[in-house]
Structure 1
Amino acid sequence: MSSLRAKIQDVFNEPACEQNRGKDAKARKEGCSKPLTPGAAAGGCAFDGAKIVLQPITDVAHLIHAPLACEGNSWDNRGAASSGPTLWRTSFTTDLTELDVVMGRGERKLFKAIREIKEAYGPPAIFVYPTCVTALIGDDIEAVCKRAAEKFGLPVVPVNAPGFVGSKNLGNKLAGEALLEHVIGTVEPDDAGPYDINILGEFNLSGEFWLVKPLLDRLGIRVRACIPGDARYFDIACAHRARAAMMVCSTALINLARKMEQRWDIPFFEGSFYGITDTSEALRQISQLLVKKGADPEILGRTEALIAEEEAIAWKKLTAYRPRLEGKRVLLNTGGVKSWSLVHALMEIGIEIVGTSVKKSTVEDKERIKQILKDDNHIFEQMAPRELYAMLSEHKADIMLSGGRTQFIALKAKTPWLDINQERQHPYAGYDGMVELVRQIDFAIHNPIWRQVREPAPWDCQTAVREELPSTKSETATLHVVQEFAGTTIDDFGGC
């Protein structure tokens, strides 16, 4: 546990974090993560964060050393996609019971599970995750993993991020520390070249990185390792031989990017593949970093030619949507890199941003938003569900873009909603991804269902009709009333 405490302190004291730089030494060591509320950590603990970062490594066996519920609550927590191996889709757990805990059989059960996975699946590596239970009872995960690696002849990586140590974001960073300590730099590639790069913090949600990789392939740029989206263990082990890196989500793996720059001289920048302008700028910066590291400067010209060609195609496709979406108001309830990259992307086609959340965004993210919007009034740290509902029900936005947690607020307010977080079904990265995003927004806003659900309910219409009908006491009078109103429509009764 002492080594774990040291790692946590090191992660908190992150010099690459702009927010940390402005603090004194004491405050910097306390970190930025909020303490967890007992009973409220489900889906947001450190174990969950570590699993999010490492599970998309597709050819690795991910073994959870814990009671069954720990794996059941965290399995498949992101919509990452794989172009090949499917082992990561298999759920492995030691399934500790109360008797195992009382009798101290956890370490033996873990060693046996590692052996069974090795014999049945033969993975290139096994990642072992302790959780609150196994950390509290004192199972020595690192010792078991070291012994198993020697015995079975394959890497067994301890990912020391039990849930009680902190938030999901802390777990992200501890996963990066595990890769640095046990994986990256353990294999020397025989094909290193001047156009190799790493992409950090890209999860390949809905396969969206596959919309970006062809652009890099056309430039002759090889992605040595995409961490973690659609990754392979061998590629990550060789990642130290890349010439440059792009950081997509700095709040998750900024410590990984900084330490790789320190150890192996791999310069990095933070960019985004959301939106036409940001995708073009990311390609430019990648090429510029490679040239600084010794690549042929002719790649700069080829990059500009590619950008001009792809931008022309994308803008031509977007022309059809501009008349339908220009002036439409969007509320963004997301965070991180999407808090500014999507703002820029949507404003490019004439959509108005009425608000954007900066939850989980870095100081640099917030500065970018201020430069784009030119108004702090549209930026909010966190909006309570009641306030979100009031804003949408008062028709201050034509659509809300957010994650699945707030979709029902929009639906209750009878407002179109589009998922842009990890549960989304469509890829939105790159030039083609931007066209798809606009297409889905157009579908959502102009879906005829919204006109229908905003109409009064049928029972309200019946009440209105009854109020319009005069009271009658005889069958003759009733027949007369029915004949009188036989030619009317529902619109004649107050719009019902």
Structure 2
Amino acid sequence: MSSLRAKIQDVFNEPACEQNRGKDAKARKEGCSKPLTPGAAAGGCAFDGAKIVLQPITDVAHLIHAPLACEGNSWDNRGAASSGPTLWRTSFTTDLTELEVVMGQGERKLFKAIREIQKAYGPPAIFVYPTCVTALIGDDIEAVCKRAAEKFGLPVVPVNAPGFVGSKNLGNKLAGEALLEHVIGTVEPDDAGPYDINILGEFNLSGEFWLVKPLFDRLGIRVRACIPGDARYFDIACAHRARAAMMVCSTALINLACKMEQRWDIPFFEGSFYGITDTSEALRQISQLLVKKGADPEILGRTEALIAEEEAIVWKKLAAYRPKLEGKRVLLNTGGVKSWSVAHALMEIGIEIVGTSVKKSTVGDKERIKQILKDDNHMFEQMTPRELYAMLSEHRADIMLSGGRTQFIALKAKTPWLDINQERQHPYAGYDGMVELVRQIDLAIYNPIWRQVREPAPWDCQPAVREELPRTKSEAVTLHAVQELAGTTADDFGEC
């Protein structure tokens, strides 16, 4: 437990953060994260965060050492995609019972589970995750993993991030520490070259990275490791031989990028593949870093030619949408890199950003938002469901882009909504992804269902009754009875 405390303290010391660099030694170790309120969910626990970062490594077996509920709550919580292995989609857990906890049988059952996975699936590695229960009862995960690795001849990696140690973001960073300590640098590739790069913090949600990788292929740049999206264990083990790196989500893995630069001299920058300008700038910066590390400068010219060609194509495709979407107002209720990168991407085609959430954004993310929007009044740290509903029902936004948890607020306000978070079904990265994002916004805003649901309900609006006297006494009695049953009179009926 003392080693875990030291590791937690270390991940908060983030020298790669410009704002953190200017603090004194004590304040620097506190990092940029706010302290948690006891009992608050804080967007997920540390175990959840570690699982999010590591589960997209597709050929690895992920074993949860805990009661069954821990794995049930964390499985399949990201829409990451794989181009090959599907082992990561299989759920493994030791399924501890109360009796095994009381009798101290956890370590023995964990060793047995590792042996069964090795025999049945033969994975290149097994990642073992303790949770609150197994950490509190004192199971020595690291010792069991070390013994199993020696016995079965494969890497067994302890991911020491039980839920009670902190927030989901802390779990992200502890997962990066596990890769640094047990995986990266353990294999020496025989094909290292001057055009090898790493992409860090890219999760390949809905296959997004597959829209970007062909651009690197055309430039002759090899993605040595994409961590974690569509990754393979061997690729990550060889990641220390890359020449440069791009950080996509600094909130999750800034510590990994920083320490890889310190240990193996791999320079990195933070960029985004959302939007035309940001995608082009990311390609430029990668090429420039490679040239500084010894690559042929001719790659800079090829990069500019590729950018010019792709931008011409994408702007031509977007021309059809601009007249319909220019001036439309979007509310972004997301966080992290999307809080500024998606905002910038939408503003490029004339869409107005009326607000963007910065709840999960770093200080650097917030500075970018200020530069893009030219006004920090459009930034909100946290907006309650009541405030979101009021904003949408008052028609201050034409559409909301957010995660699934707030979609029902938009639907209640009869406002178009589009999923922008990890559960989304469409890829939005790169040049083609930008076209897809704009297409989905257009489909959502101009869906004819919104005109129908905004009309008054039939029971709030009844057709007018012709004002004519009943022709017979029986007709008069019948009309009076119907009006009494409905609680209305003839004067109450009118046009909608």
TM-score, shorter chain, exceeding 0.5: yes
Deviates more, 1:224-233 or 1:41-50: 41-50
Structure 2 residue aligned with 1:186: 186
CA contact (8 A) 1:18 1:363 kept: no
Could you list the per-position Cα deviations for residues 235-286 of structure 1 after superposition, in whole angstroms to 9, with x for gaps in the alignment? 0000000000000000100000000000000000000000001000000000
CA contact (8 A) 1:205 1:427 kept: yes
Give 1:357 shift: 1.1
1:378–1:53 Cα change, 3 Å: same
Could you list the per-position Cα deviations for residues 79-130 of structure 1 after superposition, in whole angstroms to 9, with x for gaps in the alignment? 0000000000000000000001100000000000000000000000000000
| Equivalent residue runs for 1:9-408 within 5 Å | 9-36=9-36, 40-41=40-41, 44-408=44-408
1:478–1:30 Cα change, 3 Å: same
1:491–1:147 Cα change, 3 Å: farther
Could you list the per-position Cα deviations for residues 219-238 of structure 1 after superposition, in whole angstroms to 9, with x for gaps in the alignment? 00000000000000000000
Could you list the per-position Cα deviations for residues 131-158 of structure 1 after superposition, in whole angstroms to 9, with x for gaps in the alignment? 0000000000000000000000000000
Structure 1 gap ranges (5+): none
- Please give the alpha-carbon distance, in whole angstroms, between the structure 1 residues aligned to 2:46 and 2:280: 34
Give 1:476 shift: 6.0
Give 1:296 shift: 0.5
CA contact (8 A) 2:204 2:230 kept: yes
1:471–1:459 Cα change, 3 Å: farther
Identity percentage of aligned residues: 95
CA contact (8 A) 2:32 2:362 kept: no
Counterpart secondary structure, 1:288: helix
- Please give the alpha-carbon distance, in whole angstroms, between the structure 2 residues aligned to 1:93 and 1:243: 38
Deviates more, 1:404-413 or 1:187-196: 404-413
- Please give the alpha-carbon distance, in whole angstroms, between the structure 2 residues aligned to 1:307 and 1:168: 36
CA contact (8 A) 2:331 2:399 kept: yes
1:397–1:469 Cα change, 3 Å: farther
Could you list the per-position Cα deviations for residues 445-467 of structure 1 after superposition, in whole angstroms to 9, with x for gaps in the alignment? 00000011111111111398799
CA contact (8 A) 1:43 1:74 kept: no
Q: Could you say what the CA RMSD is over the residues aligned between the two structures, in angstroms?
A: 3.5
1:105–1:252 Cα change, 3 Å: same
CA contact (8 A) 2:107 2:139 kept: yes
Counterpart secondary structure, 1:494: coil
Could you list the per-position Cα deviations for residues 342-370 of structure 1 after superposition, in whole angstroms to 9, with x for gaps in the alignment? 11110111111111111211222111111
1:453–1:119 Cα change, 3 Å: same
CA contact (8 A) 1:19 1:362 kept: no
- Please give the alpha-carbon distance, in whole angstroms, between the structure 2 residues aligned to 1:467 and 1:294: 90
Could you list the per-position Cα deviations for residues 203-230 of structure 1 after superposition, in whole angstroms to 9, with x for gaps in the alignment? 0000000000000000000000000000
1:447–1:266 Cα change, 3 Å: same
1:364–1:464 Cα change, 3 Å: farther
- Please give the alpha-carbon distance, in whole angstroms, between the structure 2 residues aligned to 1:266 and 1:468: 88
CA contact (8 A) 1:18 1:362 kept: no
Counterpart secondary structure, 1:466: coil
CA contact (8 A) 1:334 1:401 kept: yes
Number of corresponding residues: 496
CA contact (8 A) 1:339 1:369 kept: yes
1:484–1:139 Cα change, 3 Å: closer
- Please give the alpha-carbon distance, in whole angstroms, between the structure 1 residues aligned to 2:486 and 2:216: 68
Give 1:12 shift: 1.2
- Please give the alpha-carbon distance, in whole angstroms, between the structure 1 residues aligned to 2:464 and 2:98: 63
1:461–1:299 Cα change, 3 Å: same
Give 1:24 shift: 3.3
- Please give the alpha-carbon distance, in whole angstroms, between the structure 1 residues aligned to 2:85 and 2:37: 37
1:295–1:484 Cα change, 3 Å: same
Give 1:489 shift: 20
CA contact (8 A) 1:196 1:221 kept: yes
CA contact (8 A) 1:43 1:73 kept: no
- Please give the alpha-carbon distance, in whole angstroms, between the structure 1 residues aligned to 2:358 and 2:42: 22
- Please give the alpha-carbon distance, in whole angstroms, between the structure 1 residues aligned to 2:194 and 2:489: 73
Counterpart secondary structure, 2:486: coil
1:359–1:262 Cα change, 3 Å: same
- Please give the alpha-carbon distance, in whole angstroms, between the structure 2 residues aligned to 1:96 and 1:479: 71
- Superposition TM-score, scaled by structure 1 size: 0.94
CA contact (8 A) 2:195 2:295 kept: yes
Structure 2 gap ranges (5+): none
Could you list the per-position Cα deviations for residues 40-97 of structure 1 after superposition, in whole angstroms to 9, with x for gaps in the alignment? 4396000000000000000000000000000000001100000000000000000000
1:414–1:472 Cα change, 3 Å: farther
- Superposition TM-score, scaled by structure 2 size: 0.94
1:135–1:486 Cα change, 3 Å: closer
Give 1:495 shift: 6.7
Deviates more, 1:359-368 or 1:456-465: 456-465
CA contact (8 A) 1:12 1:29 kept: yes
- Please give the alpha-carbon distance, in whole angstroms, between the structure 1 residues aligned to 2:112 and 2:471: 83
- Please give the alpha-carbon distance, in whole angstroms, between the structure 1 residues aligned to 2:451 and 2:484: 30
CA contact (8 A) 1:81 1:205 kept: yes
